[in-house]
Chain A
């Protein structure tokens, strides 16, 4: 099916709330109706037709051409279908997403995949801080689905993560997996200081080690676990490098002993 294409004419004068432009909310709408959808976040009204050239197609597959860091909440709450962005996106891309697939070919701002419950997000360049994390006051961050970042990521990625899988192929900032409740975080290159800060449960894999591991993580020895093979096969569908990284014996650190201490950090034994 031909995708529905939105081509950005120019950089918007204000940040835009792109959350109405998700497949299940566009289903059955005509071109004119879509062009009238309001996107503004200030008192100055901006509709889709003011800022995008619309080429109608199947709304199950939306293609946004010409990205911009002012396009916030792309794919927020999407339940199915696919959104592809040929450029950068602003904050909260794929926040509260429950299903479907979001592909960002550029950089993503903070809170990408925030508190998502299902589906897949692929970011081809870097992601900002709090990838998959909760907003202030929310008790859990990511609760399902898969996020893959081909580049690096900011600080506190996977904060309060509860379920699901995040793979970051590049480097990432401090406090990766902070306050994790459960879930799986796989970081292929060097992570910033104090990964797993106050994590209760969950799994962090640091294939490239970290700048500083908290002393509240206790060495449990190097192991080649069956669970890692299962994880390797699962993430292999999203990242070949992650698949390879999990095929080697990994050193297991239990923690964070400052809290519950039932989480684990696996560190590549070859780093």
Chain B
């Protein structure tokens, strides 16, 4: 399976298999960057996997005062789900519970699109009749009276059906420390790529899963082939020198963005080198029959 070694880093001849998803984006602003970030972190807190959280969400990037509609510091958040209805449900619940409630916040569309999801149009009822609609040019906002003034929320935000979820890198190192260092370095490099998020904590997932389980009704279970403690007991995918594996999962608004993110991650791993970081990189797939997007690692090398 391993085809090449670049600067001492073993790159598996494999590919990440990714799926089409529905995605949307919102811009959250607040009086300062700390509170914009706080609202975004709360909104995206429990949003690591569509399996258990309904959606995958994360911070795309922080925005300066010049980049936001109201001239305050902001954050752009991306949300991904498997269906438009679920995405609508998650967007409404998360903005309603985590952004509306956050001190000094405002929420705007973060994506232009012909198809839209209801944002302020769904939350306006919180205003109990005191909500105010404002159309300024082509924009439509709702103003909801709240205890610290008004919550301003754009009526709708864009929806894309071209989003891609499940781009990934399996980062394998000699021990937990070097693997974590490598994964952190790759995650940091991917964070600057626009239109992508890493939905797991700190951008990294340590409990990679396989489909199915020996237990009835459990949809996913531990990816035993990549568990170093099971190396002798199962059909392992690990070499003798691998002591830990961490995965980076990437969701992007387009397939190109996911490709760019994986490319940036690989480049960062190569820069760090196998002495301090990962010794081997792989990617997760299901044999290529389930997901329409295949990101071959050899095509993404810098």
Q: Interface majority SS on A: helix, strand, loop or mixed?
A: mixed
Contact of A226 with B152 in the complex, beta carbons under 8 Å: yes
Contact of A227 with B71 in the complex, beta carbons under 8 Å: no
Q: Say yes or no: is A46 at the interface (Cβ < 8 Å to chain B).
A: no
Contact of A229 with B136 in the complex, beta carbons under 8 Å: no
Give the interface segment out of A72-80, A149-157, A170-178, A230-238: A230-238
Nearest residue (CB) in B for A144 is: B135
Contacts of B149 in A (CB 8 A): 223, 225-226
Nearest residue (CB) in B for A183 is: B135
A34 to B235, CA, bound (A): 86
Contact partner of A230 (CB less than 8 A), chosen from B129, B133, B134, is: B134
Contacts of A101 in B (CB 8 A): none
Contacts of A165 in B (CB 8 A): 136
Contact of B106 with A231 in the complex, beta carbons under 8 Å: no
Q: Say yes or no: is A70 at the interface (Cβ < 8 Å to chain B).
A: no
Contact of A229 with B133 in the complex, beta carbons under 8 Å: no
Q: Say yes or no: is B232 at the interface (Cβ < 8 Å to chain A).
A: no
Contact partner of B152 (CB less than 8 A), chosen from A164, A230, A264, is: A230
Contact of B134 with A229 in the complex, beta carbons under 8 Å: no
Nearest residue (CB) in B for A229 is: B70
Q: Say yes or no: is B69 at the interface (Cβ < 8 Å to chain A).
A: yes
Nearest residue (CB) in A for B30 is: A226
A226 to B103, CA, bound (A): 13
Min Cβ gap B112→A in Å is 17
Contact of B70 with A231 in the complex, beta carbons under 8 Å: no
A184 to B106, CA, bound (A): 21
Min Cβ gap B44→A in Å is 22
Contact of B150 with A230 in the complex, beta carbons under 8 Å: no
Contact of B132 with A234 in the complex, beta carbons under 8 Å: no
Nearest residue (CB) in A for B106 is: A226
Do A262 and B130 contact each other (CB < 8 Å), given the known contacts A223-B149, A226-B106, A230-B70?
yes
Number of interface residues of B (CB under 8 A): 19
Identify the interface centre among A223, A227, A262: most chain B CB within 10 Å of its CB.
A227
Binary flags per residue of A123-155, CB closer than 8 Å to B gives 1, else 0: 000000000000000000000100000000000
Contact of B150 with A231 in the complex, beta carbons under 8 Å: no
Contact of A163 with B135 in the complex, beta carbons under 8 Å: yes
Min Cβ gap A15→B in Å is 35
Contacts of B143 in A (CB 8 A): 225, 227
Contact of A226 with B137 in the complex, beta carbons under 8 Å: no
Contacts of A233 in B (CB 8 A): 69-71
Do A230 and B132 contact each other (CB < 8 Å), given the known contacts A223-B149, A225-B149, A225-B150?
no
Contacts of A203 in B (CB 8 A): 132, 134
Q: Say yes or no: is B141 at the interface (Cβ < 8 Å to chain A).
A: yes
Q: Say yes or no: is A182 at the interface (Cβ < 8 Å to chain B).
A: yes
Contacts of B137 in A (CB 8 A): 234
Contact of B135 with A230 in the complex, beta carbons under 8 Å: no
Identify the interface centre among B72, B134, B143, B152: most chain A CB within 10 Å of its CB.
B134
Q: Say yes or no: is A107 at the interface (Cβ < 8 Å to chain B).
A: no
Contacts of B130 in A (CB 8 A): 262
Nearest residue (CB) in A for B143 is: A227
Q: Say yes or no: is A179 at the interface (Cβ < 8 Å to chain B).
A: no
Contact of A182 with B133 in the complex, beta carbons under 8 Å: yes
Min Cβ gap A198→B in Å is 18
A233 to B137, CA, bound (A): 11
Nearest residue (CB) in A for B69 is: A230
A231 to B70, CA, bound (A): 9
A164 to B69, CA, bound (A): 19
Nearest residue (CB) in A for B129 is: A262
Binary flags per residue of A258-270, CB closer than 8 Å to B gives 1, else 0: 0000101000000
A264 to B143, CA, bound (A): 13
Contacts of A231 in B (CB 8 A): 134, 136
Task: Find residues 102-159 in chain B having any chain A CB closer than 8 Å to their own CB.
Answer: 106, 129-130, 132-137, 139, 141, 143, 149-150, 152
Contacts of B129 in A (CB 8 A): 262
Task: Find residues 217-252 in chain A having any chain B CB closer than 8 Å to their own CB.
Answer: 223, 225-227, 229-231, 233-234
Contact of B152 with A227 in the complex, beta carbons under 8 Å: yes
Min Cβ gap A231→B in Å is 6
Contact partner of B141 (CB less than 8 A), chosen from A144, A163, A182, A230, is: A230
Task: Find residues 48-68 in chain B having any chain A CB closer than 8 Å to their own CB.
Answer: none
Which positions in A face B, CB cutoff 8 Å?
144, 163-165, 182, 184, 201, 203, 223, 225-227, 229-231, 233-234, 262, 264
**Other A-B pairs, 14, CB within 8 Å; known A225-B150, A226-B149:** A184-B134, A184-B136, A223-B149, A225-B149, A225-B152, A226-B106, A227-B132, A227-B150, A227-B152, A229-B70, A230-B70, A230-B152, A231-B134, A262-B132
For the complex of A and B, 8 pairs with smallest distance between CB atoms: A234-B136, A226-B152, A229-B70, A227-B143, A226-B106, A226-B70, A227-B152, A225-B150
Q: List 14 A-B contacts (CB under 8 A).
A: A163-B135, A165-B136, A223-B149, A225-B150, A226-B106, A226-B152, A227-B134, A227-B143, A227-B150, A229-B70, A229-B71, A230-B139, A233-B69, A234-B136
